Chains A and B, each alone.
Chain A
Amino acid sequence: MALAEQSIKRNTEIWQDINAEPYVQIEGITKSYGDITPLRDISLSVYEGELFSLLGRSGCGKTTLLRILAGFEAPTSGRVLIDGVDVTGWAPYRRPVNMMFQSYALFPHMTVYQNIAFGLKQDNLSKSEIIERTKEALSLVQLSGFEERKPDQLSGGQKQRVALARSLAKRPKLLLLDEPMAALDKRLREQTQFELVNIQEKIGLTFILVTHDQEEAMTMSTRMAVMDEGRIRQVGMPHDIYEFPNSRYVAEFIGSINLFDGIVTEQDQDHVLLETPDIDCQCCAAHTGAVPIGANVTLAIRPEKIMVSASKPPYSQNWAQGGIKEIAYLGDVSIYYIQLVSGKMVMATLPNLLRLSEREFKWDDVVYVFWRPENGSILTS
């Protein structure tokens, strides 16, 4: 089975190794201010060399968690261990951790060189070493020759790199990045994402990144945690979270998805059969966990995994008839909004293999949607 293959592959990853020591351990962190509790009992393990993302909407607590790691805020309860050492009560300036701020926080009264050297001076390094490490950091972010510029003479992208160089020059054990790309435009953001991953792989540092941009989290991270209302909803590799969301919240948060509420009618070892009022025929989806017959579950199917055809598919399961109500043309793909006979709206993403004028389906066409059992997921919560 496809699933089995995946689990073998995953065993080679460090976080699947039971004997591996987590580099950063967050143990039962709770943070509350009076009635507000931005973090509720968060536990996470991040391993050495990972690029771990904390993903969530604004206000989900991801930044608070990052600030607790940096030491700017103290947790109400819980512990933070870095490389086996409990740093929970440590002041930020004593932690072997550096943070890259969303606003970059480059000191406006200092040059690029002074900004980067600032952190090194605090470590009482020799002058020659400061010069050498500043140079090294600047060449790492490809900004050699910018030493004497002031921050307001830099573009947004350059500022971001100086901020990165400044935190990397300290050679921290852990680098925290707070929405590092938020201030960049889309093209620059994509380019910088790859650069950041390259740098991270080159120096083998552990990164924890906070973002609200799921694409960013998906492209960059080794693993990510989806957060909501101060809780972690799911932790896993990007494709795991996308393909196998563990809850309705995660499924809806990451990408777009079609959800069908239904009742389980049958289950074998790795499939679940269900009936849903939205679809006339029976639905079948791959699922390994035990689900009681008669349980209310949700069938989730990603729009790109839904196939559309003009003729009735030759299956007894997993199809429905509908009419195209709306077509959103995005250039590379088009999103078809198909209203099923039951009235349910279904999204299907199809690549635009043909030019717009030649495309197969038009508004109000009667079509059939269908999908493979492996492409549906069963959400029990």
Chain B
Amino acid sequence: MKTKFPTHVFFSKSRKFFPFHRTSGAGFWLGIVPLLWVLVLFVLPLLIVLKVSFAESVFAIPPFSEIISFTGEYFLELKLNLGNYAALLHDTYYTSAFINSTLLAVTATVICFLLGFPMAYGIHNSSKNLKLLLLLLLSLSFWTSFLIRIYAWMNLLSCNGLLNSALLKLGIIDAPLQLLGTYSTVCLGLVFCYLPFMVFPVYAVLEKVDRSYIEAAHDLGCPPTKAFWTITIPLSKSGILTGGILVFATSIGEFTVPELLGDAETITFGRVLWNEFFSNLDWTMACALSIAMMICVVLPVFLLQRRARI
């Protein structure tokens, strides 16, 4: 049994935008549903967010000004406030959040790749029954709530947590280590949560790489290690990229992990956004932030997607 993972979400070879080609019949109506879904639940809210990001923050309900208004009798005024975006670029609070988030996401992605690829390769090379078991074990982490898993880490790593008390009891350390609230802990949390996102697509692609390519490489005089680097890795590129994008895109906007495992120093996009929205009630800034974040996620995805076509 092969586990199907939608590797082609990002890297479909077909350039067709719509999943249907007939303009009549059931295919059309089935195609309409996802289209409407995307339009109503994604594009429309995104446009609203974009609109709000250009508004001015006011003390009212809702807490932003209208950017389009009638002035005089015949004037339609479009008033764009670029102040939020300017602040994003100039205020170190936001730039450091941006740098933090990006660094965290990149580190998490790289670690996920370094851990995930050997895992995927191992699963791919194991016997049929073991394969099934390993895949099951890997997806087991999804069966527990995300929050509970993070809380479990907090419990493990806190000053009087399991790890510290064990180390104290064994006499390895004299005083509890400050494990929570560090950059590395946040990274650990991200890797822990998103590792399967790397393993599954890489595994799916490895399963599809025809065994005969590897055999052909051996046959042509290429020893196994070299064949791994020259054939297996390049041929699983699309899976690595898909996994990388999944981990990167989810980590960069992550709120829960830095909030719970980080401290005041580990400011990330997600946390800044939360603050703007719920503490400062500055919806316009929050919207500008989310647009900026989206650009940060979409741009690399877009660039990678062009390169992923073999």
Contacts and interface: CB of A to CB of B under 8 A. Distances in A.
Interface stretch (B169-177, B219-227, B289-297): B219-227
B215 interface: yes
B215 A122 contact: no
Contacts of B226: 122
A74 to B, nearest CB: 14
B216 A107 contact: yes
A55 to B, nearest CB: 22
B128 interface: no
A70 B234 CA distance: 25
A123 B219 CA distance: 12
B79 interface: no
B77 interface: no
Nearest to B218: A92
B210 interface: yes
Contacts of A321: none
A166 interface: yes
B288 to A, nearest CB: 41
Contact of A118 (B210, B222, B223): B222
Interface residues of A, number: 24
Nearest to A99: B219
A71 B218 CA distance: 9
B220 A166 contact: yes
Contacts, number: 65
B219 A70 contact: yes
A98 interface: yes
A119 B215 CA distance: 12
A76 interface: no
Nearest to B227: A93
A105 B222 contact: no
A91 interface: yes
A72 interface: yes
B219 A107 contact: no
A93 B213 contact: no
B212 A101 contact: yes
A82 B230 CA distance: 29
B129 to A, nearest CB: 15
B15 to A, nearest CB: 15
A103 interface: yes
A107 B218 contact: no
Interface in A46-104: 70-72, 91-94, 97-99, 101-103
A92 B215 contact: yes
Contacts of A101: 212, 215-216
B216 A122 contact: no
A141 B215 CA distance: 23
Nearest to A96: B221
A71 B221 CA distance: 12
Nearest to A108: B310
B212 A103 contact: yes
A105 B221 contact: no
A187 interface: no
Contacts of A119: 220-222
A102 B216 CA distance: 11
A167 B220 CA distance: 7
A91 B220 contact: no
B218 A105 contact: no
B218 A109 contact: no
7 contacts: A72-B215, A93-B221, A101-B212, A108-B310, A109-B310, A119-B221, A122-B226
Interface of B: 210, 212-213, 215-224, 226, 230-231, 234-235, 237, 310
Interface of A: 70-72, 91-94, 97-99, 101-103, 105, 107-109, 118-119, 122-123, 166-167, 170
Given A72-B218, A93-B221, A105-B215, 11 more contacts: A72-B215, A92-B215, A93-B219, A98-B219, A99-B219, A105-B210, A105-B216, A107-B217, A109-B310, A118-B217, A166-B220
What are the 8 A-B residue pairs with the smallest beta carbon separation, nearest first? A119-B220, A122-B221, A105-B216, A105-B212, A92-B218, A109-B234, A93-B218, A101-B212
